[in-house]
Amino acid sequence: MNIHTRSATLHHQIPATQSYQLLNNQLTIFLRAWGASEYNQKVIDEITHYLSTTQADIEVTTPFDYLESLSSLANRTRVAVLLAHDLLYKTDNRTEYVVGFELMVLFKARYEMAWASVGRFSLSKIMHDRLNPILANGTDLDREVLLPVELIGLEKEINVNSGSVFFDDQSKLTVTSGYNCDFKVSEGSGSNQIEAVPSQSTYWFSVITPG
């Protein structure tokens, strides 16, 4: 996968969103730390370890069940996020809050792209001149103070949005986070770029293409 990222801040500031590509670019992790960013690697390692182990067909026992409504790939991606959440909650945040994360995880195998997300991340498929929404999370709170919608590592129970979509050599996805703004495909961009409307706003987005 290839990613192209862009961000801007106006009046309201959000922590930087870090991008990581791993496992021969099959795995992309977007992380936004609300607290000390030196814990990023701990989350990345936990997610990568579980996904690489299951990818090698090694049986792994976890306290989290698979959901019948999700594919095997989507379930693995969801459980990887739950394991990272559980690790933070039971160690670094056990006695006091140190750090929490918003995150979006994308994991590709053949023609399937699985995703698992916590926090203010939306996912859309770029279809010619429009965005086809798959997930919209946090936009309903845009009239409120800009705060994280939900964080991994903070509460005992957490809701992980997850699923999967068809993704081939012609597919394009975009992951977005915006505050009081919308996103659209840029005119004349050939579906390779999107833009925030209005442009003078606080936003972050990444366009994901095959690679």
- pLDDT tens digits for 182-191? 888 887 655 4
pLDDT confidence bin for 211, thresholds 50/70/90: confident
Q: In angstroms, rounded to a whole number, what is the distance separating the alpha carbons of residues 160 and 158?
A: 6
Q: In angstroms, rounded to a whole number, what is the distance separating the alpha carbons of residues 160 and 121?
A: 12
DSSP for 31-44 reads: EEEEE-GGGHHHHH
Assess if CATH 3.40.50.2000 describes domain 2-209: no
Tens digit of each residue's pLDDT (9 = 90 or more) over 31-74: 999 988 889 999 999 999 999 999 887 777 788 999 999 999 99
The pTM assigned to this predicted structure is 0.92
Order of all β-strands in the sheet with 17-22: 17-22, 27-35, 99-109, 112-118, 161-166
The structure tokens 């992790």 sit at 29
